Amino acid sequence: MKKVSVTMMALAAGVIAGCSSDSNDNTAGAEESVHLVAATQLDNQSPYAVGLREFKEVVEEESDGSVTVEVHTNGSLGGSEAELAQSAETGSVDLVVASPGYLAQKVKEVDFFSILYLFEDREHWERVVDGEVGDEVARVTEEKSNFKVLDYWSAGTRNYYGTQPVETPEDLENKTVRTQDSPVVTNTWQALGAQPTSVAWNEMYQALQNGLTDAAENDFTNIYLASHYEVADHLSLTEHDVTTRVFFTTQDVYDGMNAEQKEAVDKAVREATETARATDQELASDYREKLQEEGMEINEVDKEAFTKQTEEVRKEAVDNLGMEEEYERVQELKDE
């Protein structure tokens, strides 16, 4: 449950009484205030942090201060998405950005956005998440859990990188690749001939340096910030994952606000989403250039071959999630 502060106007001395359930009264107006805690495990300049600060600025202005937000970055309230998602459930954090996999532990359909080669490019991704498919995933999430999807952000587009380049799926044969620990992800890489392996991110530099793994996959920003260009000379533009990250709160938090506060939150969400997405794109462009400046060679791949060879994995995942109609809509949106 969220923590709500109700300013008791009758008490001129300014005594504050804490309340967790009485703020549902939509007629309370200026007498009630809502304090929200937003948190990310990423640093202060990350798209998540930039977006959350934009949310804070807009919602506080639009609500005339009846909604206030404190933003925590650098993992100060939890060093991983899993910790923060759990904190949202318990009520110690109100606003979180996390990978689909964490919400999928409660609502399997959210894992639809974890499927690799689901999107052709960033523009296709936006048409999907901003349209009826994104709306349906949000609806099912609210139906099956206490989570409330506010919008969809991104953490860049993930690519393959390692000690040798790849251009076709055949080049991946028997190569060990550090991947995310998700069945749909590991199954996809296995279908491409690779051997997925699990390595902690903070151990990945040494694993590449010592030859314990041949390659990994991530977005430009994370690759650069981890200095992996020092131990991996090649990056191949597989573009297998235009990532989706879910900006969410709980229904308890949202429903505890009055109508004016909800309106302010909704506007702040829209503007924060625009800012977070733009920041993500800017950073991706900047860090791609920086990787090349550090000597990393970037090459194109036969993306159609990668997509075709993993088609059965996608279909199996879609069937398991019961998302056949949504998958058809995703395909239709490729040509729009």
Q: Is the separation of the CB atoms in 56 and 72 below 8 Å?
A: no
pLDDT the model gives residue 200: 87
Cα(29)–Cα(40) distance, integer angstroms: 30
Question: What single-letter amino acid sits at 26?
Answer: N
List per-residue pLDDT tens for the chain, 336 residues long. 334 443 333 333 333 333 333 444 444 444 599 999 999 999 898 999 999 999 999 999 999 999 999 999 999 999 888 899 999 999 999 999 999 988 999 999 999 999 999 999 999 999 999 999 999 999 999 999 999 999 999 999 999 999 999 999 999 999 999 998 888 999 999 999 999 999 988 899 999 999 999 999 999 999 999 999 999 999 999 999 999 999 999 999 999 999 999 999 999 999 999 999 999 999 999 999 999 999 999 999 999 999 999 999 999 999 999 999 999 999 999 987
pLDDT the model gives residue 16: 35
pLDDT the model gives residue 284: 96
Q: pLDDT by residue (tens digit) across 240-289?
A: 999 999 999 999 999 999 999 999 999 999 999 999 999 999 999 999 99
For 157-242+287-335, CATH number out of 3.40.190.170, 3.40.50.720, 3.40.50.1390, 3.30.70.270 equals 3.40.190.170
Q: Is the separation of the CB atoms in 28 and 261 below 8 Å?
A: no
> What is the domain partition of the chain in residue ranges?
4-106+145-154+243-285, 157-242+287-335
Q: Is the separation of the CB atoms in 174 and 215 below 8 Å?
A: no
Q: Is the separation of the CB atoms in 247 and 151 below 8 Å?
A: yes
Q: Is the separation of the CB atoms in 2 and 252 below 8 Å?
A: yes
Which position has the token pair 């392996």?
197
Cα(92)–Cα(107) distance, integer angstroms: 21
pLDDT the model gives residue 201: 86
**Domains 4-106+145-154+243-285 and 157-242+287-335 are alike in CATH topology:** yes
Q: Is the separation of the CB atoms in 112 and 320 below 8 Å?
A: no
Q: Which residues contact 200 (CB under 8 A, 6 or more apart)?
A: none
Assigned fold of 4-106+145-154+243-285: D-Maltodextrin-Binding Protein; domain 2 (3.40.190)
Task: Sort 118 into a burial class: Cβ within 10 Å, 0-12 / 13-18 / 19+.
Answer: buried
Which position has the token pair 């759990």?
86
pLDDT the model gives residue 7: 34
Q: pLDDT by residue (tens digit) across 131-153?
A: 999 999 999 999 999 999 999 99
Residue length, the chain?
A: 336
Q: Which residues contact 188 (CB under 8 A, 6 or more apart)?
A: 116, 117, 240, 310, 313, 314
Instruction: State pTM to two decimals.
Output: 0.87
Cα(182)–Cα(25) distance, integer angstroms: 42
Q: Is the separation of the CB atoms in 193 and 173 below 8 Å?
A: yes
What secondary structure letter does DSSP report for 212? S
Rounded CA Rg of the chain: 21
Cα(244)–Cα(110) distance, integer angstroms: 10
